[in-house]
Amino acid sequence: MDLLAPLSGIAAVVVPVFLIAALGFGWSRAKLPYDSAFITTFAINVSTPCLVFSSLARLSLGGDDLLIMAAASIGSMALAGLLATPILLASRLPLRVYLPALSFPNGGNMGIPVCLFAFGETGLGLAVLFFATLAVLQFTIGPALAAGRTDVKQVLRTPVIYAVALAVLVLTTGFQPPQWVTNTTTLLGNCAVPLMLFSLGVALAGLRMEGMVRSLAMSALRLLLGFAAGWAMVEILDLEGTIRGVVLLESTMPVAVFNYLWALRYNNAPQEVAGMVLGSTALSFLTLPLLLAAVM
């Protein structure tokens, strides 16, 4: 029984993530009704900001812990990009196409649910903080890398940024929001995790892998670079416990779907990025049990 306990714990994390994403995948392939525009708009503008606010506002972390987690998030993504750059240059592959995909992990659709199932509410809050930092970078540096410029108006229209600011204000001042605010944001935030996973499955169903060998090679590189960058950051910052596990998990997530959306928007070889999203997500379902065994 003792030998089966770790496997049971890992299965408790991996299986729900896989099944909900698979449900979205099958739903799309069955051509059942799915209003992608509404779901995406609702998730970005309502449920995810509410999840960010309600999760961060409940965290029992000091200001130093918040800064450390934000630094670990920024550092892991920056280091992954730095490690990827000479590899891409040596391979004569365009930085604008591949660098964002190798730098930004799927810390939202996949990372948040995995951390929730692995580490409970504390893991959820820390993962949300990682994702919030990622979202800010992805809406500033992401377009800059993909199109050579930063869309300031797009950044200012990102509700997650304001949710983070309000949550940090609550944490630093000790102000207690009215119970109706807490209940409302918690209720709406609870929609975010299943919507993220379901939407991930729907998005994957619409992608096609072209240039399979290169896509798989770059997908494996994303996971390796993410783990290496995450490992370096937890060692540099001397992180332990849940924070260490969350940073490693989030850093090693597959290519974020938003990378494909940016590539599509700027006509920046979207089929290549789509292959990386699909390939890295498939590989991550195979490697996730090993990763969980290392951090749990």
Concatenated DSSP letters of 202-263: HHHHT----SHHHHHHHHHHHHHHHHHHHHHHHHHTT--HHHHHHHHHHHT--B-HHHHHHH
Nearest to 57 by CA among 160, 243, 186, 156: 186
**Per-residue confidence (pLDDT) for residue 279, from 0 to 100:** 84
- Domain span at residue 61 reads 35-295
What's the confidence (pLDDT) of residue 267?
A: 74
DSSP label at 133?
Answer: H
Amino acid in position 106: N
pLDDT at 3: 40
Diameter of the chain measured on Cα atoms: 56
pLDDT of 129: 83
Establish if 83 belongs to a structural domain.
yes
Look at residues 52, 43, 74 and name the one whose alpha carbon lies nearest to residue 186: 52
Compute the Cα dihedral for 214, 215, 218, 219 and give only its sign.
Answer: negative
Position 110 in a domain? yes
Q: What is the pLDDT of residue 1?
A: 40
9 part of a folded domain: no
Domains of the chain: total: 1
Give residues with Cβ within 8 angstroms of 52, minimum separation 6. 128, 131, 132, 160, 163, 164, 167, 189
Q: What's the rounded Cα separation, in Å, for the pair 22 and 202? A: 9
Asked if 25 contacts 133 with a C-beta cutoff of 8 angstroms, the reply is: no
For residue 63, tell me if it sits in a domain: yes
CA–CA separation, 45 and 9 (whole Å):
33
60 in any annotated domain:
yes
Consecutive 10-residue runs of the chain (296 residues): their mean pLDDT?
A: 52 78 89 84 84 78 74 93 94 88 87 87 85 78 68 71 82 83 90 80 73 82 95 94 93 85 73 81 86 84
Instruction: Provide the pLDDT for residue 285.
Output: 83
- Give the residues across from 255 on adjacent strands: 105
Does 69 reside within a domain? yes
Residue 102 one-letter amino acid = L
In a domain, 128, yes or no: yes
Question: Which residue type sits at 134?
Answer: L
> Which CATH number fits the domain that encloses residue 130?
1.20.1530.20
- pTM assigned to the model: 0.79
23 within a domain of the structure (yes/no): no
